[in-house]
């Protein structure tokens, strides 16, 4: 890929995000993936089936999704190049744009700090509940701030670094295949009995496709934050995910905070280990600091993408 597809897609996302007017009219492509996954899950994830049969059904669901997505991506790339010639890369950039989430992530995290600054913990809880899966009703202000920072650091990989990586590696089919796998993991890749067998393939594939991007993203956060390397290398393995711990530990080290720790999902407490050596009493200023680190890390990604596309 020698055309500036990645830079154009990043620029569109940074400037526009995914506009609400578009979302209202046509939704988002991820919604298509969700409908395919949900249809397969309703049909094939049957409790009376054996775990082996449900695992095969989960593999089949992921295979169907990827055949549709990769085949569609290849077809759209071909049509863009065939119909638009040397300007086909512009169409490919437009089609890749919705898979990135730089602006959206910033716009979801930034209000949490503003509400906390105003002393409105209830609105801050509602804002942070939009970006985390944990229970938020009982979170105090430091826990709300930590949740926002943790989501920002983890989503830097899932929403920006990993999609960009797969765009550079595999073009339009690559970026949307990644998003399809990531969506499948978020919907069915859970450890609960209902999902464990059926969603196992989605969870393991998501771990695989995030392996390299997560480590790159963690290094970028350390570079952007001027430190955090020791904490990242020491504490990345404390996270339940083999990948999410890299960006979270990098951010904890860069900010001098302790992140993660005990939390609750669906009313069930989980005694998770702390990540980092600092104070767990995060404040709105820490969210602002994290956002500055995030923006600098995004800027470094732009530079790397430009070098890769124009040099290699």
Give the least confident one: 21-30, 46-55, 226-235, 294-303: 21-30
pLDDT higher than 70, residue 270: no
Tens of pLDDT, residue by residue over 62-87, are: 999 999 999 999 999 999 989 988 88
Looking at residue 117, what is its pLDDT? 96
**Distance, C-alpha 48 to centroid of its chain:** 33
Looking at residue 138, what is its pLDDT? 81
pLDDT higher than 60, residue 14: yes
Looking at residue 271, what is its pLDDT? 78
Q: Round to whole Å and give the CA distance between 36 and 246.
A: 31
Tens of pLDDT, residue by residue over 246-269, are: 999 999 999 999 998 887 666 666
Q: Round to whole Å and give the CA distance between 87 and 8.
A: 12
pLDDT higher than 90, residue 193: no
Mean pLDDT of 14-42: 93
Question: Taking the CA atoms of the chain, what radius of gyration do you get in angstroms?
Answer: 20
Q: Round to whole Å and give the CA distance between 260 and 40.
A: 34
Q: Round to whole Å and give the CA distance between 153 and 228.
A: 13
Looking at residue 212, what is its pLDDT? 98
Cβ proximity of 292 and 281 under 8 Å: no
Closest CA to 294 of 226, 224, 230: 224
pLDDT higher than 60, residue 1: no
225 or 191, greater pLDDT: 225
pLDDT higher than 90, residue 133: no
Tens of pLDDT, residue by residue over 160-188, are: 999 999 999 999 999 999 999 999 999 99
Give the least confident one: 1-15, 141-155, 243-257: 1-15
């Amino acid at each position: 890929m020698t055309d500036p597809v990645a830079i154009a897609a990043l620029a569109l996302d940074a400037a526009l995000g995914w506009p609400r007017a578009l979302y209202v009219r046509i939704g988002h492509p991820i919604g298509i993936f969700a409908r395919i996954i949900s249809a397969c899950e309703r049909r094939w994830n049957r409790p009376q089936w054996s775990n082996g049969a449900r695992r095969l059904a989960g593999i089949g669901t992921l295979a169907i999704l990827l055949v549709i997505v990769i085949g569609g991506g290849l077809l759209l790339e071909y049509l863009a190049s065939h119909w638009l010639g040397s300007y086909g890369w512009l169409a490919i950039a437009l089609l890749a744009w919705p898979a990135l989430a730089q602006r959206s992530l910033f716009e979801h995290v930034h209000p949490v700090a503003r509400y906390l600054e105003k002393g409105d913990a209830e609105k801050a809880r509602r804002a942070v509940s939009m970006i985390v899966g944990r229970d938020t009703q009982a979170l105090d202000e430091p826990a709300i701030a930590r949740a926002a920072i943790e989501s920002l650091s983890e989503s830097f990989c899932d929403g920006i670094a990993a999609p960009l990586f797969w765009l550079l590696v595999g073009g339009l089919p690559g970026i949307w295949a990644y998003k399809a796998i990531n969506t499948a993991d978020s919907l069915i890749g859970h450890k609960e009995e209902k999902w464990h067998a059926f969603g196992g393939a989605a969870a393991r594939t998501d771990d695989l496709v995030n392996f390299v991007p997560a480590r790159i993203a963690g290094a970028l956060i350390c570079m952007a934050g001027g430190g955090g390397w020791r904490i990242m290398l020491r504490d990345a393995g404390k996270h339940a995910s083999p990948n999410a711990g890299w960006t979270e530990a990098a951010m904890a080290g860069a900010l001098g905070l302790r992140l993660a720790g005990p939390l609750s999902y669906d009313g069930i407490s989980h005694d998770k280990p702390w990540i980092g050596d600092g104070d767990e009493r995060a404040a709105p200023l820490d969210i602002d600091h994290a956002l500055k680190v995030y923006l600098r890390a995004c800027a470094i990604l732009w530079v790397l993408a430009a070098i890769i596309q124009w040099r290699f």
